């Protein structure tokens, strides 16, 4: 499997790893079967993402995706952060192998959940999104490997 230099860079030196104490929003997504878990912490001020950190227990592509995704949303408005798609994350990494695209979906959804966690705590109401069935994705992907 060929990984781009950017994927390798963000895998070896992930940005924004860790926990934000008293985060304004926390989102966690995981896959029960393979054990990949991603947790995203957001610090939000004036509708802007002031800081973002993540913890990922997963494959290299999941780590690189969370690293890149947090880089891309820091300094953005909540709306812009919400609109960050997994495809944009993969493009910013100069691409992910097709069987690894679902790893970037984890990053997109962890951010969605963290934003909704914040919105619910503020009494703003959650925004709609469809959570992917990660177990099914993994079965599908692993079947192709």
Q: Between 103 and 110, name the residue whose CB sits nearer to ligand FES.
A: 103
Q: Which is nearer to ligand FES, 16 or 61 (CB)?
A: 61
The yes-or-no answer on residue 103 being catalytic is yes
SS3 per residue for the chain: CCCCHHHHHHHHCCCCECCCCCCCEEEEEECCCCCCEEEEEEEEECCEEEEEEEEEECCHHHHHHHHHHHHHHCCCEHHHHHCCCHHHHHHHCCCCCHHHHHHHHHHHHHHHHHHHHHHHHCCCCCCCCCCCCHHHHHHHHHHHC
Asked about 59 being catalytic, the answer comes back as: no
We find the least distance from the C-beta atom of residue 110 to ligand FES, in angstroms, to be: 11
Interacting residues with ligand FES (CB under 6 A): 31, 34, 36, 58-59, 61-62, 103, 106, 138
Question: Given the complex with ligand FES, which of 24 and 109 has the nearer CB atom?
Answer: 109
Residues with a catalytic annotation lie at: 34, 103
């Amino acid at each position: 499997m060929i990984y781009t230099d950017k994927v390798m860079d963000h895998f070896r030196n992930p940005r924004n790893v860790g926990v934000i104490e008293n985060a304004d929003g926390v989102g966690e997504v995981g896959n029960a079967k393979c054990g990949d878990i991603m947790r995203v912490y957001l610090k939000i001020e004036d509708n802007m993402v002031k800081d973002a950190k993540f913890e990922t227990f997963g494959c290299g592509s999941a780590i690189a995706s969370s690293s890149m995704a947090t880089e891309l949303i820091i300094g953005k408005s909540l709306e812009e952060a919400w609109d960050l798609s997994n495809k944009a994350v993969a493009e910013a990494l100069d691409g992910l192998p097709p069987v690894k695209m679902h790893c970037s979906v984890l990053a997109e959804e962890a951010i969605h959940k963290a934003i909704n966690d914040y919105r619910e705590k503020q009494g703003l109401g959650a925004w709609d999104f469809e959570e992917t069935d990660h177990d099914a994705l993994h079965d599908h992907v692993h079947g192709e490997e």
